[in-house]
Amino acid sequence: MNKTRFDITAFGEMLIDFTFQGFNEKEQKLFSQNAGGAPANVLVAASKLGASTAFLGKAGNDIHGKFLKETLEKENVDNTGFVLSDDVFTTLAFVDLNKQGERTFSFARKPGADTMMEKEEISLPVLKNSHIFHIGSLSLTDNPSKETTLYALKKAKDFGSIISYDPNYRDSLWESEEKAVKEMRSVIHYADIMKISDEEIRLITDEKDPEAAAKKLIQQGVKVVVVTLGAKGAFVATKDGGTVVPGFESKVVDTTGAGDAFWGGFLFKISRSEKNLKELTLEELEDFTRFANAVASICVQGYGAIASMPTIENVNEIM
């Protein structure tokens, strides 16, 4: 395998998660400022495990955007392709939690800076030197970021990167479920590896069963499919079959970023493999999935996504 500067590069949203932190003495809800956005979360998870990573995206040249850029630097994620603009405001997400740690989202994104990235602003030197290129679907909700996503995917494919895709459906950010389904499905043919949650399989494949959903995606050209199953673990599949890999028990405080932590762990293991994707056995992918489950199980024990991503030592300890 050729040595590349970046193990994993991601394009998409990086935003502020204002995460529920309890109540003050007047019973008013308190929210803390956390760096978030699924593609960025994935990179930080992988970076903390030891991967070299880079982020491509846009935020406002405001207090939040500067905080996000500083966060990337602090977490050893290359931020040379992260653009701060005077013309738009950084996207904000307010994340409320119930007693089970499950989330509801409210977004300030009309438009948000993450949707305004132009294809001319994509750093081609970074993209060219990336072993894995990862995207979500939220960059497909609006233009110009939709056109920029397609441009970056084509370039990354031409450069020989492994394409990773996690739809990460957020209904409140799409004008309709019908449009979301159409756009989320439109980039599947680019993907070499995909992660979807058990709640997303119907939207992405029209199937209700993880095994049937994975099979359909593999028929469309995806080489490795992982369906996350919450506390039950994850189902991993290739053309040779699939298997459920049980999760780890943990005390759940906040599920924000759990799927991103999982995928950061999985991509980290892919980046460390000396094999072509087609050469990886189901047994090896089971090991990768077990590792990813461990990463996610640690993440949910703390508040906020990036703040709760574990180190390789944390993961090895529980494995």
- Per-residue pLDDT of 246-301, as tens digits, reads 999 888 887 878 999 999 999 999 999 989 999 999 999 999 999 999 999 999 99
Residue 73: band (very low, low, confident or very high) from pLDDT cuts 50, 70, 90: very high
Instruction: Give this prediction's pTM.
Output: 0.94
> Does any domain span residue 26?
no
> Does any domain span residue 106?
no
Query: What does the DSSP 8-state code read for residue 220?
Result: T
> Does any domain span residue 108?
no
Beta strand 15-23 with 29-36 is antiparallel
Q: How far apart are CA 53 and CA 133, in angstroms?
A: 10
> Does any domain span residue 31?
no
Beta strand 193-197 with 224-228 is parallel
> Does any domain span residue 27?
no
For the residues 135-149, what does the mean pLDDT come to?
98
> Does any domain span residue 220?
yes
> Does any domain span residue 97?
no
User: Cis peptide leading into 144, omega within 30 of 0?
Assistant: yes
What is the pLDDT, as a whole number, of residue 251? 86
Is the per-residue pLDDT at 1 higher than 60? Answer: no
Question: Count of domains in the chain?
Answer: 1
Compute the mean pLDDT over every residue in the chain, rounded to the nearest whole number.
94
Of the candidates 310, 306, 299, the one whose C-alpha atom is nearest the C-alpha of residue 71 is 306
Distances in Å between the Cα of 163 and the Cα atoms of 9, 104, 120, 172, 251 are 10, 29, 20, 26, 33
> Does any domain span residue 96?
no
Residue 96: band (very low, low, confident or very high) from pLDDT cuts 50, 70, 90: confident
Is the per-residue pLDDT at 8 higher than 80? Answer: yes
Is the per-residue pLDDT at 306 higher than 80? Answer: yes
Q: How far apart are CA 185 and CA 225, in angstroms?
A: 14
For residue 305, the domain's CATH number is 3.40.1190.20
For the residues 77-104, what does the mean pLDDT come to?
88
Instruction: Note down the domain range covering 276.
Output: 6-12+37-88+118-317
Q: Taking the chain, what is the end-to-end CA distance rounded to the nearest angstrom? A: 28
Of the candidates 116, 168, 124, the one whose C-alpha atom is nearest the C-alpha of residue 145 is 116
- Per-residue pLDDT of 20-59, as tens digits, reads 888 999 999 898 888 989 999 999 999 999 999 999 999 9
